[in-house]
A and B are shown apart, each in its own frame.
Chain A
Amino acid sequence: MPLVKYIQHDGSERQIEVEVGQTVMQGAVDNMIDAIAAECGGACSCATCHCYVDESWRSKVPPANDIETEMLECAVEPAAGSRLSCQITVTDELDGLVVHLPESQY
């Protein structure tokens, strides 16, 4: 299973195996990573699953679609690499993916 590395705002790291086809959001929620609130459960309607894709991975993660891009404007402190983690589906190509988590989703 592909490994995803979640780096929390305080610098602590969690390496989690996420099944292919699951989302980066689901991997976090299933493993009690509180920095991903994911209120809407992945419907792309809440923007509380915001994360920042590590610079080294930005070109490998398929880009956000229009719906996600608009929703990202509601995220707290959007920046380069900002994504909604519920819209990133894990694939074998994303094995080793690194995402940074914000301090808060609110």
Chain B
Amino acid sequence: MSIDKTDPFREARESDRTVVANYSDERIPMILRHREVRLAARDWQTYSSDAPCRVPIPEESDVRQVRQLPIEVDPPEHTDYRKLVLPFFQRPLDPTMAPKIEALVDTLLSEAMTKTSVDVVAEFALPLQSRALTHLLNMPMEESELWISWGTHVFRTGGDSLDTEQAGALDRYIEQQLDRAEDNPGADFFSELHRAQFKGRGLTREEMTGIANLTFAGGRDTIINLVSSGLGYLAQNPKALQQLRENPSLINTATEEFVRYFSPKTHIGRVATKTLDIKGEAVEVDQRVSLCWASANRDASVFEAPAEVRLDRKPNPHLGFGHGPHSCLGAPQARLVMRSVLKRLVERVSTLELITAEQAIEQIGGIERNVGFEQLHIRFSE
């Protein structure tokens, strides 16, 4: 039987086993079922995030020194860090944000329609993600040019190839911006980090760097993969595009369904605080386990016909944005970007035609999963 690379966990999940992600110095059993992933995500006392560079799989100690915040810390500190950054991450919920993101989509669609085809990954999703981030962080639009120039594969979190040199570019950039904001404060994200009060004191440079690092790294590949996967799907399924055009009220449910089906973040690590047994795999204290959102999102005990994309799926209790205390802070941004793409697409584009596509494959310690595209050329017609 060939393995469906969009869901390589199926057989193990359905026979109630685990799969182990094997790295040279580490074996990481994966939790695969929806209910069990949820329970583990909430049980931070057992499945701890208090582990610098070890929440992503593979771990990232070779590409960064700093502890990412708030993701690599447990409650109660986690709760306080999270509160500090929440106002920025909630900016997309403000109704004035949607027109701004839609305008970004419009510019990119107009450009795309003048060409015979565009690489949706590098020429659409990447610039969109970077430009949208200026609005989230309240920074000048010009900054996005530099972020775009870093390319699609900068400092992957949870991916396979980790690029030390590129990661160095991010570190230097964050350092510069924190210096700039200290000398010349404004109303931007970096300036607010200087103003923030944590337990009655200001943040240390290290804490500010850890927050900024996650903000830039966490929301990059994920949004790019979501947008590319969504557009790739619509190019291959003209009926789905038609369905959205006839019923734009499906845009929200379609966005959730794309997050579920494509699960841009496959999984995330936790460190065991006591010995565990993951379906027969022993886990010692301080060893890691994986919470596999992508597998949970295909659990047939929760989702009817889980391998089908149903744009009107509702309810859709997917775990694509995680679950529990660490659930994705960037979810409002990701949702707004995807919804804006779909909204302007159905209003302005008549057909999408797939020209060429090269699937990206995530290597998960011996397991392969499709996550987004290396390149995806699509023709957008008016």
Contact = CB atoms under 8 A, between A and B. Distances in A.
Contact of A67 (B86, B256, B302, B324): B302
Nearest to A67: B317
B91 interface: no
Interface string A53-73: 000000000000001101101
Nearest to B259: A45
A42 interface: yes
Interface stretch (A1-9, A13-21, A33-41, A93-101): A33-41
B64 interface: no
B27 interface: no
B252 A41 contact: yes
B99 interface: no
B42 A41 contact: no
A40 B256 contact: yes
Nearest to A84: B315
Interface stretch (B207-215, B238-246, B327-335, B346-354): B327-335
A39 B253 CA distance: 12
B323 A44 contact: no
Dominant secondary structure of chain A at its interface with chain B: loop
Contacts of B197: none
Interface residues of A, number: 17
A74 B332 contact: no
B316 interface: yes
A82 to B, nearest CB: 16
Interface in B231-260: 252-253, 255-256
B321 interface: yes
Contacts of B17: none
A100 to B, nearest CB: 21
A74 B316 CA distance: 16
Contact of B252 (A37, A43, A44, A71): A43
Contacts of A85: none
Given A67-B302, A73-B42, A44 B332 contact: no
Which one of B86, B314, B315, B319 has the greatest number of beta carbons of chain A within 10 Å? B315
B318 interface: yes
Contacts of B314: 42-44
B93 interface: yes
Contact of A87 (B35, B90, B93, B315): B315
A83 to B, nearest CB: 13
B38 interface: yes
A72 to B, nearest CB: 11
A31 B162 CA distance: 47
A37 B331 CA distance: 12
B331 A46 contact: yes
Contact of A39 (B302, B318, B331): B331
Contacts of A46: 321, 331
A106 B90 CA distance: 10
Interface in B299-351: 302, 313-321, 323-324, 327, 331-332, 335
A42 B256 CA distance: 10
B253 A43 contact: yes
B42 A45 contact: no
Contacts of B38: 70
A43 B253 CA distance: 7
B93 A37 contact: yes
A43 B315 contact: yes
A73 B43 CA distance: 12
Contacts of B317: 43-45, 67, 70-71
B315 A74 contact: no
A68 B320 CA distance: 17
A41 B335 CA distance: 10
B331 A44 contact: no
Contacts of A41: 252-253, 255-256, 335
Interface of A: 37, 39-46, 67-68, 70-71, 73-74, 87, 106
Given A39-B335, A41-B252, A70-B317, 11 more contacts: A40-B256, A41-B255, A42-B253, A43-B253, A43-B315, A43-B318, A44-B314, A45-B320, A71-B317, A74-B42, A106-B83
- 9 cross-chain pairs, A with B, having the tightest CB-CB distances, nearest first: A41-B252, A44-B315, A43-B256, A43-B316, A67-B317, A44-B317, A45-B317, A45-B318, A67-B315
Interface of B: 35, 38, 42, 83, 86, 90, 93, 252-253, 255-256, 302, 313-321, 323-324, 327, 331-332, 335
